[in-house]
Amino acid sequence: MRLVRSTLILLGLAASPAWAAETAVVDLTTWKVPDINSLPDDSHGKLVRFGHELTVATFKHIGPEVADKSKRYAGNNLSCQNCHREAATQPYAMPWTGVSAVFPQYRSREDKISTVEDRVNGCMQRSMAGQKLPDDSPEMKAFVAYIDFLSQGIPKGAKITGAGVKAVALPDRMADLAHGEQVFKEVCSACHGEDGHGVRNGAQSDAQGYQFPPLWGPDSYNQGAGMYRLASAARFVMHNMPLGTTYAAPTLSIDQAYDVMAYVNTQPRMAKQGMENDFPNRLKKPADMPFPPYADGFSQAQHQYGPFGPINAELKRLNEQAKTDKR
């Protein structure tokens, strides 16, 4: 046994078992995104380019105004890059760079392991207010190929900095809707319109989408979208809006972003059925999820407008209690 153990140590196997390997860390703020123009004009290159085109001009290919009615998967005329900025490559703007490296992954909203295809269809049914893409459809294959392309070089299981939205402390108060309306009028309405319905590229029914997307109304994201959750939306807006803003040089303060998105999400928009089924494990339901039922005892209004600190504190207590009860 001593000889065997000595041999293993010399080989580095005992000293560095596979489970002890360090997790790779990738920083998207310095990561070089692969050049799509470098792809050959073969079947794979065409599929990736189609995925890119679907990302930047979703409305043109699968929107509700396209000529082929069988392709009308999206329920609005938004594009994916309205939220996933710069063709889903901008850090802290919910980029797709590295997504293939972290999926499949457990997602508490469904309380199960989800695939990249599941994640795409989550957006299709919520932010795009439409229906699922079949997994074997050309469009789904193109989305996955583009995500894989953006993720190349990033190791499986890597810890990725710059993914999602940038964390920042939220105001410890209820959102001020009057202040939010003021911010909208002074900052947001210049692009999104005084009525919040956006500015079209062309005319209605021409499948050309928007120069500036609607923030509410029948052609915007529905109530199931991540942008309908205040904490997520405020952090996104602070670091990405107005157009041209990045995480490195925010234009709005977190107070402005918090209040304006609370105001935006009080405006009319499409509902999504079955929201009570999201986060079936109620102890994993985020504090800013504005649809009951809840395990924490706080009101629906506080879950929608804050403050979220007391909710998070109670959820932490309940989760610790649940762990103790299992022992």
pLDDT tens digit sequence for 23-44: 999 999 999 999 999 999 999 9
Question: According to DSSP H, which parts of 95-229 are helical?
Answer: 99-102, 116-125, 138-151, 177-183, 189-192
Across 213-241, average pLDDT: 98
pLDDT of 136 > 80? The answer is yes
**Structural domains of the chain, count:** 2
pLDDT in the model for residue 18: 46
Lowest average pLDDT, out of 14-18, 65-69, 73-77, goes to: 14-18
| 128 and 58 Cβ atoms separated by less than 8 Å | yes
Residue at 10 is within a domain: no
pLDDT in the model for residue 21: 63
Across 144-164, average pLDDT: 98
Give 182-206 as a 3 state SS string.
HHHHHHHHHHHCCCCCCEECCCCCC
Say if residue 245 is in the same domain as residue 202. yes
> N- to C-terminal Cα distance for the chain?
37
Across 89-116, average pLDDT: 98
Residue at 318 is within a domain: no
Across 214-239, b (16+ Cβ under 10 Å) vs e yields bbbbebbbbbbbbbbbbbbbbbbbbb
pLDDT of 5 > 80? The answer is no
Across 86-90, average pLDDT: 98
Say if residue 32 is in the same domain as residue 133. yes
**pLDDT tens string 103-119:** 999 999 999 999 999 99
- pLDDT tier for residue 210 given thresholds of 50, 70 and 90: very high
pLDDT of 9 > 80? The answer is no
pLDDT in the model for residue 196: 98
Say if residue 228 is in the same domain as residue 286. yes
d(CA 118, CA 136): 13
Task: State the DSSP code for 280.
Answer: S
Domain that holds residue 142: 26-161
Q: pTM of the prediction?
A: 0.92
Picking from 108, 134, 161, the residue at the C-terminal end of a domain is 161
Q: Which of 75, 62, 115 is nearest to 224 (CA)?
A: 75
pLDDT in the model for residue 22: 85
Say if residue 195 is in the same domain as residue 137. no
CATH assignment at residue 212: 1.10.760.10
Picking from 161, 187, 215, the residue at the C-terminal end of a domain is 161
Residue type, 110: E
Task: State the DSSP code for 274.
Answer: T
- Could you give the angle at which helices 138-151 and 116-125 cross, rounded to 10 degrees? 120
Q: Between the CA of residue 185 and those of 75, 179, 190, what are the distances in Å?
A: 27, 10, 8
Residue at 324 is within a domain: no
